[in-house]
């Protein structure tokens, strides 16, 4: 006789994901020069075909599915993050969408987040867009700060992006958590 009791339930594991059209919630990205440079003449079609999945949690921000390239977005982040943060996060994730479309890996579990080639490319693209919209190095470093990287990793990422972690008076800047 087995010492484990039989579990008398049935679980349907097909749990469908509800995907929405990206353009239903995010308009004007097809007119952003950086996005047009990313996808070229396919920009309108890529954005028209792109899907987004919203999840309800107070943790997490945005991500890109490595299964089919759709976006995953926390509704809490969507509702509470500053507009500029949402904009740059979307630009960052669109870079990951482009990587996915080109057959590139999105995740590197054996590397530090800040050393992953996909993140370096996406952050470089995002920092360039941040500079284009007039953000300072200090603001961009604050943008790069996330709770899953250490201060040392943040400074390494900032240096890789060509950002100075020094204030105009030469003192090291310690940005407050932005998210």
29-74: pLDDT as tens digits: 999 999 999 999 999 999 999 999 999 988 889 999 999 999 999 9
CA distance 75 to 54: 6
Judge contact between 100 and 64, C-beta under 8 A: yes
- Alpha carbons 28 and 44: distance in angstroms, whole number: 10
pTM: 0.86
């Amino acid at each position: 006789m087995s010492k484990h009791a039989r579990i008398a339930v049935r679980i349907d594991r097909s749990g469908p994901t509800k995907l929405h059209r990206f353009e239903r919630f995010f308009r004007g990205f097809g007119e952003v020069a950086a996005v047009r440079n990313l996808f070229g003449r396919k920009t309108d079609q890529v954005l028209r075909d792109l899907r987004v999945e919203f999840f309800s949690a107070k943790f997490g921000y945005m991500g890109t599915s490595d299964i089919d390239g759709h976006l995953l977005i926390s509704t809490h982040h969507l509702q509470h993050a500053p507009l500029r943060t949402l904009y740059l996060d979307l630009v960052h994730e669109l870079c990951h969408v482009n990587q996915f479309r080109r057959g590139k890996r999105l995740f590197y579990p054996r590397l530090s987040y800040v050393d992953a080639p996909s993140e370096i490319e996406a952050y470089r693209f995002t920092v360039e867009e941040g500079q284009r919209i007039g953000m300072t190095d200090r603001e961009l470093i604050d943008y790069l700060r996330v709770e899953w990287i250490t201060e040392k990793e943040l400074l390494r990422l900032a240096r890789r992006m060509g950002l100075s972690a020094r204030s105009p008076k030469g003192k090291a800047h310690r940005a407050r958590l932005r998210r």
